[in-house]
Amino acid sequence: MKILIAGFQHETNTFAPTQASYQSFIQGEGFPALARGADVLTLRDVNVPIGGFIRHAETAGHALIPVIWAGASASAHVTRDAYERIAGEIVDAVRAGGFDAIYLDLHGAMVAEHLDDGEGELLERVREIVGDRMPVVVSLDLHANVTERMLQLADALVAYRTYPHVDMAETGKRAAEILDRITRDTRPLACVARRVPFLIPVNGMCTLVEPARGLYDRLDALERDTVVSLSFAPGFPAADFPECGPVLWGYGFETEALSVAVDALYSRMLAEEAQWEVPFLTPDEAVLEAMRRSEHADKPVIIADTQDNPGVGGDSNTMGMVRALLHNGATGAAVGVIWDADAAQAAHRAGVGARIELALAGRSGVPGDAPLEGVFEVEHLSDGHFRFDGPMLNGMPGDLGPVACLRIDGVRIAVSSVKMQVFDRNLFRVAGIEPEHMKILVNKSSVHFRADFEAIADSILVAKAPGPMAADPTDLPWQHLDPQIRVRPMGPSFAALRDARSAGASADSH
């Protein structure tokens, strides 16, 4: 076959402070930088879905027509300009024709300034051109908010099965295999989907632990014979539109067998609902517990600063965890990565060994967050260029812009000029910090850091410091959810939460 391939990835937190501009996609912000045409094929060796698709398709003898690949760090809405420019390039290539099938590497949780369902809209524009008979296969992130429009317009949607996402390329390969299968088999491919009736905290989705690990093991075991593909997307619980939430779905040549498999997974989800809840610590609780554990540990204790994770829409610049470390007298601690280009530039102007007075970061606008004013010692400077050596984006170059290590009391702070989630130890090393040598590490991440850090961790704690991404979905000011969905496992429905908030506001006004 001749296969048109393209990618457009963004995870949208509609409550976050910063939008994704076209420049965000040019930079990549932790993803590969925007690529066009033949340059897209250079992603074949990167752990992203299109890389796995390219490798499989080339091995199978298919001819590929690469269009564009663009991704940006999670944030608030994709600007209208960015969406229309990137989606427009894909649609223009589809309109030009000359191919037998389409593969799209999408996220599944994109919200733009002017539309709620970025992927569904793109698929609809594509279908308007190619019609119903053209095979269209899509890979999705595990955090996709899968909509009815997406299910109806794609021949197959295939989602990651790991969080941290170490199987991104493997998911692209599975998408290629399904495309091969459905184009060879003349039987119609049925789709069965079930929407799970509760939101899941992001931290509860980690597939290294239960209940997610067991559910995906069961999903893999049920994918046999006429059950061609099964997927579960726990969703991204920070996109305020009616179809936000977890979805189970699959494809098969026998509808009855497929329904049995999907319903088995759905029943398990309902039976284990309480296990998807997550306990959280306050910043002080997390620091004091980390200090206690680190006294006799030979590995660092890691604290996930989950509510300022730039991988879910934070700006990686809140200072709550830094303040907790200082307030409690922590030593041998490192925090990474704080995004403050002005502070990094000031450090570079001053030079290594200088002591500089700064109001560091803390500009999120979130209640409880503020710049940290103090005198910092410049311990290390670099240009911010590094390579990912961890499992997620192994071998890909990274660029944080000018980077500085600033020390205040017993705390080292890695400061960058580009926003990026800490899912690779080299984000500390580029700031001159050896993570293995620290007693306490505070990572601006929720789960992805586990892929590279779990091997060096004594233990891992999760803290709720002030930040733009509420770790508990109940804390978000929802307006447009499905009224019947429960806002957390075993929690109230959105309708009940909305009524309670309304009653509380009414009482306050009196």
Span 420-445, pLDDT tens digits:
999 999 999 999 999 999 999 999 99
- 43 pLDDT above the threshold of 80: yes
Span 497-507, pLDDT tens digits:
999 988 876 66
450: left (phi over 0), alpha (psi -120 to 50) or beta: alpha
Answer for the pair 13, 469: CB distance below 8 angstroms, yes or no.
yes
CA distance 105 to 92: 17
Q: Which residues make Cβ contacts (< 8 Å) with residue 379, sequence separation at least 6?
A: 352, 405, 406, 407, 412, 432
Asked, as a colleague might, if the bond just before 46 is cis with ω within 30 of 0, I would say no
Quick one: 375 exposed, middle or buried, by C-beta within 10 A (0-12, 13-18, 19+)? exposed
Which pLDDT band holds residue 508 (cuts at 50, 70, 90)? low
Mean pLDDT of 488-509: 86
Mean pLDDT of 63-92: 97
User: Could you tell me the sign of the dihedral formed by the alpha carbons of 279, 284, 290, 295, in that order?
Assistant: negative
CA distance 173 to 185: 18
3-state secondary structure of 158: strand
Domains of the chain plus CATH, in order, are 2-276 (3.40.50.2300), 283-463 (no CATH)
pLDDT at 510: 57
pLDDT at 469: 84
Q: Which residues make Cβ contacts (< 8 Å) with residue 432, sequence separation at least 6?
A: 379, 380, 382, 405
pLDDT at 30: 81
DSSP code of 307?
A: G
pTM of the model: 0.90
Helix H or strand E encompassing 151: helix 148-153
Quick one: 133 exposed, middle or buried, by C-beta within 10 A (0-12, 13-18, 19+)? exposed
Give the pairing of strands 247-252 and 227-233.
antiparallel
Residues 91, 113, 107, 176: what is their CA dihedral angle, to the nearest 10 degrees? -10
The structure tokens listed for 154 are 């794609």
pLDDT at 502: 83
Span 312-358, pLDDT tens digits:
888 999 999 999 999 999 999 999 999 999 999 999 999 999 999 99
Sheet holding 227-233, edge to edge: 190-195, 247-252, 227-233
Mean pLDDT of 365-378: 95
Give the pairing of strands 136-140 and 63-71.
unpaired
Residue 347: what are its φ and ψ, rounded to 5°? -65, -40
pLDDT at 311: 87
Q: Which of 444, 421, 309, 312 is nearest to 14 (CA)?
A: 312
CA distance 318 to 307: 9
Asked, as a colleague might, if the bond just before 111 is cis with ω within 30 of 0, I would say no
Span 208-241, pLDDT tens digits:
999 999 999 999 999 999 999 999 999 999 999 9
- 452 pLDDT above the threshold of 60: yes
CA distance 197 to 506: 29
CA distance 238 to 471: 9
- The amino acid present at 361, given as its one-letter code, is A
pLDDT at 507: 64
